[in-house]
């Protein structure tokens, strides 16, 4: 007989949380043609492809096949800086392309589309953030990489989720007080872990903010042997349930190295390609995002990451895509905070 906790989540809902191969993994003849053209252009123009784990599986695959970099935002920044190619094509969201350009202003940096932005970046306009910082002149300004070039230019440090804890811990040990922006959930998590003196900007990721405590608890009851992997942009009650809180790379590393066979994952769906490719015998479940009356069980898909397609990637590698330009003065200032990030540790 089923326990009442199991009855909280119907069988069909449970089944729908289990990741199968993506429907969009099935490649059409038109897409095969597009992939061939992209590969030819990348080789002809000696381009380095750099793509985030949340981009479409097909984009991740091409990037891997051409010895590019598929990774989290910190490794993307480091790879772009170290690349010997004169042209970088960054699939992801705008701040990732801007970061690549600031770290290598001499290179041409293209993106499939500059319309792909991020709710954290949009929710932290440089002029308002500057005013906020002026109220706390004695504090070190630490910002998440998910910000505009202008915000980076007025900051002391840029961090990504993979090093945010360590950087704040280091600054705290130096007796520094901190202004943190823009993600309030990540900020709160770091504050709780490090006990550092931090004031937080009020921003959030529209994707991770949707993960639900109650739904996750129900799924955990159904899979009591599953490890729970959570990106720290998620709400604090969801983070509190996690076995691993980390960046996309840290989540993948945890699943690769764990002896557990089952994982519930609270981050963008794009990550399941890597998780399932590396661990074909393990089972992965999507953490629920549905509130009462919602129309999907887990809608965790970044709308901006989803704007990267094979069509606009072909434009980008053909010199017809969106090129990144950053004002020279902004580049010089933002290089200081960004170089601290890539050189940390
Ligand atoms: P990572 O640095 O963990 O890849 O995160 C980037 C991001 O935008 C998460 O939403
Ligand atoms: Fe920004 Fe969230 Fe999309 Fe990441 S998932 S790019 S934080 S909106």
Higher pLDDT, 12 or 73: 73
Ligand nearest to the CA of 271: 1
CA dist., res. 67 & res. 70, Å (int) = 9
Around ligand 2, the residues with Cβ closer than 6 Å are: 93, 118-120, 146, 205-208, 233, 268, 302, 304-305
Q: How high is the pLDDT of residue 287?
A: 94
Q: DSSP 3-state assignment of 272? A: helix
32-36, 161-165, 289-293: range with lowest mean pLDDT: 289-293
Q: How high is the pLDDT of residue 27?
A: 85
Q: How high is the pLDDT of residue 84?
A: 97
Report pLDDT digits (tens) over 12-67: 444 456 665 444 467 899 999 999 999 999 999 999 999 999 999 999 999 999 99
Confidence of residue 138 (pLDDT cuts 50, 70, 90): very high
| Ligand 2 mean position, distance from CA 1 (Å) | 42
- Atom 1 of ligand 2, nearest CA residue: 118
Look at residue 222 and tell me whether its pLDDT is greater than 90.
yes
The CA-based dihedral angle spanning residues 202, 208, 212, 215, taken in that order and rounded to the nearest 10 degrees:
-170
> Given this structure, which CATH class describes domain 120-206?
alpha beta
Look at residue 97 and tell me whether its pLDDT is greater than 70.
yes
Q: What is the CATH number of domain 45-116+306-328?
A: 3.40.50.10800
Q: DSSP 3-state assignment of 261? A: coil
Q: How high is the pLDDT of residue 2?
A: 32
Average pLDDT, the chain: 92
Mean pLDDT of 164-178: 98
Q: How high is the pLDDT of residue 96?
A: 98
Q: How far apart are the first and last CA of the chain?
A: 53
Which residues lie below 8 Å from residue 301, measured CB to CB, with a gap of 6+? 207, 268, 269, 270
| Ligand 2 mean position, distance from CA 208 (Å) | 8
> Given this structure, which CATH class describes domain 5-19+207-301?
alpha beta
Look at residue 277 and tell me whether its pLDDT is greater than 80.
yes
Half-sphere exposure of 206 (CA within 13 A, CB side): 13
Mean pLDDT of 243-264: 98
Q: How high is the pLDDT of residue 8?
A: 36
Look at residue 1 and tell me whether its pLDDT is greater than 60.
no
Q: How high is the pLDDT of residue 20?
A: 52
User: Residue ranges per domain, the chain?
Assistant: 5-19+207-301, 45-116+306-328, 120-206
| Ligand 1 mean position, distance from CA 11 (Å) | 32
Identify the CA nearest to 78 among candidates 54, 48, 56, 116. Answer: 48
| Ligand 1 mean position, distance from CA 30 (Å) | 31
Same fold, 45-116+306-328 and 120-206: yes
């Amino acid at each position: 007989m089923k326990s009442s906790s199991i009855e909280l989540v119907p069988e069909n809902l449970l089944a729908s949380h289990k990741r199968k191969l993506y429907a969009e993994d099935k490649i059409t003849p038109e897409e095969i043609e597009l992939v061939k053209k992209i590969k030819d252009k990348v080789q002809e123009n000696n381009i380095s492809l750099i793509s985030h784990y949340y981009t479409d599986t097909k984009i991740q695959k091409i990037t891997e096949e051409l010895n590019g970099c598929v990774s989290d935002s910190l490794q993307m920044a480091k790879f772009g800086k170290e690349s010997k190619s004169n042209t970088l094509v960054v699939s992801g969201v705008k701040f990732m392309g801007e970061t690549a350009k600031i770290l290598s202003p001499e290179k041409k940096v293209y993106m499939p589309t500059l319309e792909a932005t991020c709710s954290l970046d949009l929710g932290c306009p440089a002029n308002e953030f500057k005013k906020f910082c002026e109220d706390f002149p004695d504090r070190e300004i630490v910002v998440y990489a998910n910000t505009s070039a202008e915000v980076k230019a007025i900051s002391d440090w840029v961090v990504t989720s993979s090093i945010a804890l360590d950087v704040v811990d280091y600054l705290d040990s130096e007796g520094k007080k901190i202004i943190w922006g823009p993600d309030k959930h990540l900020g709160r998590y770091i504050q709780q872990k490090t006990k550092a003196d931090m004031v937080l900007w009020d921003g959030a990721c529209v994707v991770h903010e949707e993960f639900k405590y109650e739904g996750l608890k129900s799924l955990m009851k159904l899979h009591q042997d599953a490890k729970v992997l959570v990106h720290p942009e998620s709400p604090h009650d969801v983070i509190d349930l996690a076995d691993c809180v980390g960046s996309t790379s840290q989540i993948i590393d945890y699943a690769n190295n764990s002896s557990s066979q089952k994982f519930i994952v609270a981050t963008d769906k794009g990550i399941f390609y890597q998780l399932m490719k590396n661990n074909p015998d393990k089972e992965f479940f999507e953490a629920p995002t549905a509130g009462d009356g919602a129309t999907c069980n887990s809608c965790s898909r970044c709308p901006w990451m989803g704007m990267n397609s094979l069509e606009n990637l072909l434009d980008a590698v053909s010199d017809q895509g969106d090129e990144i330009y950053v004002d020279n003065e902004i580049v010089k200032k933002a290089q200081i905070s960004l170089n601290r990030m890539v050189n940390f540790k």
